[in-house]
Chains A and B, each alone.
Chain A
Amino acid sequence: MQWRYAKDWCASVSIRSSLILVNLIAFIIVFVLFMKAEPILRIQSLGHLLFSSSWHPLKGQFGFLSFIVGTLEVTAIAMVLSIPVSLLSAIYLSEYAHKYFKGLVRLMLDILAGIPSVIYGLCGVIAIVPFVHSLGGFFGNPTTGYSLLAGGIILAIMVTPVIISVSMEVLAAIPDEARTSSLALGTTRWETVRYVVLKGSLRGIIAAIVLGFSRAFGETIAVLMVVGNVAKIPTSLFDPAYPLPALIANNYGEMMSIPLYDSALLFAALVLLVLVGAFGLVANITLSRLTKKGYYFS
C-alpha cells in the first residue's frame, strides 16, 4: 500500500517538474537575450534602436526599423496569399471531398509540412526568383527577383499545408448533426458551411491562422535565400528586404570584432521574440473576447 502512494507521489512530482522545466527554459532564453542585449541598450535609446533605419555597424549606428518592417511585410504578404487559399481548400476537403480523396490529400499535406525549409528555399531560388524577376519586368519594375514578394510567396507556400491541416481538423470536429440540422431546413451546402460550420469553428480557425503566422514569422533559411538581404526599407514588392531572422542567421559569428555588433544581433533576437509573443497574446485576448461576447462556440 505504502509503495503505491510512493509511486503516486513520484508521478505527480515528475510531471510537475517537467512542466516547470519547459517553462523555465523559455524564461532563461528571454533572460539571456536580455542580458546580452543590455550593453547596446545602455548606449542607445530603445526608441532609436527600434525606429531608426540607419544601419551602419562600423559607425556604431544600429537602427532596426528596416529589419522590423521587412519581417512584418514578408509575413503579411505570406498571410494574405495563404489564408484564403488555405481556408477554401480546408473547406473543400472537409465538406465536399470524397473520403478517399481526403485521405490522399491529408497524406500529401503531411509530406509537404515535413519538407525541410532549405529545400523550399532552393525551389524558391530556382523557380520563384526568376518568376518574380519576369513579373517585375512585366510591371515595369526592374528587379533581380530576390525580393519581398519572393520571400512572401515562399513563406505562403510553406505555411499553407500547416493552416490547411489544422483547419481541416477543426472543421472535422463539428458534429455531423450540425450539418444535418441545417441542411434539413432546406439550406444549400454553402449556406450550411458559411452560417453553421464556419461560425461554429471560428475559434479553431483563428488558432490555425495564428499557428501559421508564428511559423511564417520566425522562418529563417527559406526566406533568407530569396529575399535579397539588403538593409533598406523596401518601397515596393519587388525591392529586396532583410527580415530579422535572416539578419541574425547571416551575421552572428562573423564580424564580431565590431564593437556592440554581438549585442545588437541579440537585441534583434529579443525583438523577434517579443513580436511573436505579443502577437500570440493579442490573438489569445481576441479569442477570449469572442468567447465572452458570443455564444458562437458550443
Chain B
Amino acid sequence: MPHISLRNLTITYGDLEVLKGVTADIPDRQVTTIIGPSGCGKTTLLKSLNRLLDLNEDARLYGEILMDGINTYGQNTDILALRKTVGFLSQRPYPLPMSIYDNVAFGPRIHKLSRYEILNQIASVEKHGLLAQCSVENLFQMDMKKKNVEMDILVECYLRLSGLWDEVKDRLHGSAAQLSVGQQQRLALARTLAVGPEVILADEPTSALDPLSSQLIERQIKILKNLYTIVVVTHILRQARRIADHVIFLYMGELVEDGPADQFFDSPKDDRTRAYIKGTIS
C-alpha cells in the first residue's frame, strides 16, 4: 500500500500559481476528501497524483509527491505503472467506444495480465468479502478450460464491485454508450478497478449525476475504502461529511487545514474553515 505525501507542492499554469506550497499526508485505506471553493486547485492537486497533469502543456510542478517514499515526479518514474496503481475517475464518465464487457476488460488486456495475475487479483478482492452474493467459489467452478474464462470472471467481479452487475448482466456485449450517465460512472469505476489499482482518485464523481445515482456512487466508495485508498474531490460539503474519513481544505491554492473528518467538521482550528463550514465563504 503506498503512503502518499505531498511535500511543499507548488503548481503553476504560466504565471498563475494554482497550488502554493501544499504539504499534507493522505492516509491509506481511508476516504480523503479535498474540499474548497471552485478554482482553489482541487482538481489540479488530484491530477498531479497520477501525473495526468502532464497532459497540460502549461503546467509546472515544484516540490515532491512521495509514494512509499519515492518521488513520483522523479526522473525514473514509470508513468504507465504509476497510472495503473493510481486510478482516476473523471467528472463526466466517458464510456470507451466498445461494449460494456470490453470496457472492463480493456485495461487488463492492454496490460496483458496473465490468467494467474487476474485470478490472484480477484482472490485478493474476495478476501475482504466484498463480493456479496457473488461467491467466488461459484465463479471458480466455471469451466476453467474455456478460453478467456478468467476475463469473464474478472468482468463479473468488478461489475459487482462497482454495483452495476445486476443492471447489465444480460447485455454485457451491448453498447456502453447506451447506459445512463449514472450507470456509465459506475462502469468507469469498474474499468478503473479492473487494472488492480491501490489508489482511486475521483474528481467530483457525482456532479454530473442525479441524486439517486450519486447515492449509489457514494455507497460504493464507502464499501471500497476497505480495499483502496480513495481521494475524492468535491465541492459539496454535505457529501464530504457523509463519506470523508480525512479532509484536506484548500482555499485560494493554500492548504488551510487538514485532518480527520470528525475533528475537521466538529472543531475546526482555522477561521476560514469555520467560515466555509458555516457557508459564509464559498
Contact = CB atoms under 8 A, between A and B. Distances in A.
A191 interface: yes
14 contacts: A177-B92, A180-B88, A184-B83, A185-B106, A185-B107, A186-B80, A186-B83, A186-B111, A199-B96, A199-B98, A295-B98, A295-B177, A298-B97, A298-B177
Contacts of A187: 80, 107, 110
Given A177-B92, A181-B94, A298-B97, A186 B175 contact: no
Interface residues of A, number: 25
A181 B188 CA distance: 8
A184 B50 contact: yes
Contacts of A294: 175
Given A184-B87, A185-B87, A186-B84, A195 B175 contact: no
Contact of B95 (A98, A185, A191, A298): A298
A195 B92 contact: no
Most buried by B among A177, A182, A185, A295: A185
Contacts of B99: 295
A196 B106 CA distance: 10
Interface in A196-216: 196, 199-200
Contacts of A184: 50, 52, 83, 87-88, 90, 192
B212 interface: no
A200 B106 CA distance: 15
Contacts of A196: 96-97
A296 interface: yes
B175 A175 contact: no
B59 to A, nearest CB: 14
A179 B83 contact: no
Nearest to B88: A184
B186 interface: no
A196 B50 CA distance: 20
B81 interface: yes
A252 interface: no
B191 interface: yes
A178 interface: yes
Given A180-B55, A298-B177, A185 B90 contact: no
B15 interface: no
Interface residues of B, number: 34
A98, A99, A179, A200: most-surrounded residue (chain B CB, <10 A)? A200
Given A178-B94, A183-B55, A183-B83, 5 more contacts: A175-B94, A182-B106, A196-B96, A295-B174, A298-B177
Interface in A242-298: 294-298
Given A186-B83, A186-B107, A178 B88 contact: no
A188 interface: yes
B57 interface: yes
A181 B96 contact: yes
Nearest to A189: B55
Nearest to A179: B55
B155 interface: no
B239 interface: no
Given A180-B90, A295-B174, A295-B176, A185 B97 contact: no
Interface of B: 50, 52, 55, 57, 80-84, 87-88, 90-99, 106-107, 110-111, 174-178, 188, 191-192, 195
Contacts of B107: 185-187
Interface string A162-193: 00000000000001011111111111100100
B127 to A, nearest CB: 24
Contacts of B91: 177
Give the most central of A175, A186, A187, A295: most B CB within 10 Å: A186
B236 to A, nearest CB: 20
B84 A295 contact: no
B230 to A, nearest CB: 15
Nearest to B82: A186
Contacts of B50: 184
B119 to A, nearest CB: 20
B98 A99 contact: no
Nearest to A185: B107
Nearest to A196: B96
A99 B96 contact: no
Contact of A185 (B55, B93, B176, B192): B192
Contacts of A188: 80
A195 B99 CA distance: 13
A181 B55 contact: no
A89 B175 CA distance: 30
Given A98-B57, A177-B90, A298-B177, A186 B110 contact: yes
B66 to A, nearest CB: 20
A200 B97 contact: yes
B7 to A, nearest CB: 23
Contacts of A195: 96, 98, 106, 110
Contacts of B93: 177, 181
A199 B52 CA distance: 22
Contacts of A99: 57
